Structure 1
Amino acid sequence: MIPSDYEPLRLSEESAIEKAPPTQPLQGVETPYSEHYASISRRARLFGIFFSFSFVFNLLFIASFAASGWSTAMVLKRDESWVLWRGAKPVYSPAAKVLTHEHKLSKRFTQVSDYQGPRTYERDRLWASLYMPYSWVGVTRELAKPMLNQTERIQDDIKIMGEPRYILDLDVFHQLHCLDMIRRKLKGPREGEDQEHKPHFAPMGPADDPTYDHVDHCINSVREALMCNPDLTPVVWQWDEASQKSGPKIDVVHTCANFNAIQEWGKKWKLPYHIDDSVHVHDDWTHSPPNLGS
């Protein structure tokens, strides 16, 4: 037999090898790789913990996302009547950012507001206060540029306001002017009214009346506004015990624009002087209307 340095393992060591897990160092047996195996074992345990946590987290995230999507889809399907804008995109307005909404209860048929009744000086001023202090404003070029339609630059804007300004009016104030015009024409001249203004508010005459075209335009303008922005608030019918009849109930809650915020916007940009409409200011800005899409 050829001599060798081989020394058989003792039975206890053989048993330890047979029973030891392949990824762990031998228990009770020191080898050059014992520390290496211990390090691998620690990393394996940490990786296992991390993987388990990551798996559970991702599983919960996917379940939550799926539930949220399903819930949103169900809400949209159930409450699609609350989607306020479909079809054509809204036309840009410099005042759009101030628009907020609130709930308001409309008055009953028998309830009279301060805006109703015969023409008086005070009532005329009340109506005029709705629109006159906020009509015809001068906005900056930055606010005017995205508008679909180009508007006129104001003369002397640099000298008076420090930067180019562009004139416009919000259509709501134009509509209120028109409604006031119809009201005055319907009610007729008031006591003490200037002789200069009386012909404008005399009862409507034939088509050759000098105010006929103006009032006719206003009637059509209000019609267009109502059809363009219809109030879809349901007017219900209810039983009335006193009359023993059912009928429309108009004192219902509406979703309304915060009109005070719109007036404040108009006050902020109100022009500080009268515009000479016979002056055209040549501007270096070339208007490029935005593409509305569909």
Structure 2
Amino acid sequence: TAPALSMVTYEEPRNLDAAIVQTNRCRGIPSPEIDVEWLKIGLGTQPIRLFKDDLKKLDNSDKLVMTLHCIFEEFGGGLIAMLEAFHLLHCLDSWRKASYKEYYIQGWIDIGDNSKRIHHDHCIDMLREFIMCTADVTPITFYDNLPSPLRKTTHAGLQHATYVPQFRCYTGTE
């Protein structure tokens, strides 16, 4: 099982605003303020430390331990890990930035187009896997005159605030 599962709680079902044209703190033309909001929801989290026994609980083979990124013993040992939710937020943020390549051009120059392409293919596939694995079966309806879903539908999910603060590093905005 996931080690952090005991730290999360589910929120009451709530309406998600699916309107095509809307504003929120994580959406819009790129700006330092929007980038800070993405850090606040989890992109600024520190990795967590796992040990070999944790891998057994996660059904990972002992053979994999040698290929994983290890923390030097003088720093306490163990393995570096990230909670999947934060990895997927990183993937989504990578695509957000790719859609505004002209704003985030330095990242493309520093890493290169081919490396970015490989990374984005990975992110697309991870998001696909996650959506298929945790498929929300809430029906959504559509308007006749617009190819967009009904503005609000009720969904249930994790209370994001219950697990983000415990893993977030200081971003200078709190």
Alpha-carbon distance, 1:108 to partner: 4.2
SS of structure 2 residue aligned to 1:95: helix
CA distance in 2, matches of 1:246, 1:216: 27
C-alpha deviations, 1:181-201, integer Å up to 9, x for none?
A: 1111111132xx6x7424269
CA distance in 2, matches of 1:248, 1:261: 29
Map 1:1-294 → 2, pairs under 5 A: 92-102=1-11, 103-109=13-19, 110-139=21-50, 146-149=57-60, 153-155=70-72, 156-158=74-76, 164-190=77-103, 196-199=106-109, 209-237=114-142, 248-267=149-168
CA distance in 1, matches of 2:34, 2:148: 31
Amino acid at match of 1:138: R
Structure number with the bigger relative contact order (C-alpha 8 A, sep ≥ 6) is 2
Alpha-carbon distance, 1:145 to partner: 5.1
Mapped contact 2:108–2:116 kept (Cα < 8 A): no
Distance 1:97 1:238, change over 3 A: same
SS of structure 1 residue aligned to 2:137: coil
Name the larger-Rg structure.
Answer: 1
CA distance in 2, matches of 1:234, 1:215: 29
Amino acid at match of 1:233: T
Q: Tell me what 2:172 maps to.
A: none
Amino acid at match of 1:99: V
Amino acid at match of 2:59: L
SS of structure 2 residue aligned to 1:119: coil
CA distance in 1, matches of 2:137, 2:75: 42
Amino acid at match of 1:212: R
Amino acid at match of 2:92: L
Alpha-carbon distance, 1:123 to partner: 1.2
Q: List structure 1 runs of 4+ shifted beyond 6 angstroms.
A: none
CA RMSD of superposed structures (Å): 3.1
Mapped contact 1:131–1:173 kept (Cα < 8 A): yes
With 140-149 and 122-131 compared, the bigger mean Cα shift is at: 140-149
Distance 1:232 1:264, change over 3 A: same
CA distance in 1, matches of 2:4, 2:47: 13
C-alpha deviations, 1:169-226, integer Å up to 9, x for none?
A: 1111111101111111111132xx6x74242699xxxxx7332111121112111111
Amino acid at match of 2:123: C
Alpha-carbon distance, 1:111 to partner: 2.3
TM superposition score normalised by structure 1 = 0.47
C-alpha deviations, 1:63-120, integer Å up to 9, x for none?
A: xxxxxxxxxxxxxxxxxxxxxxxxxxxxx11001112111221114132212111211
C-alpha deviations, 1:218-264, integer Å up to 9, x for none?
A: 1121111111111111213578xxx7x99741411110111111213
Identical positions, percent: 23
CA distance in 2, matches of 1:167, 1:210: 23
Distance 1:260 1:96, change over 3 A: same
CA distance in 2, matches of 1:248, 1:142: 45
CA distance in 2, matches of 1:225, 1:117: 24
Mapped contact 1:94–1:144 kept (Cα < 8 A): no
Mapped contact 1:189–1:198 kept (Cα < 8 A): no
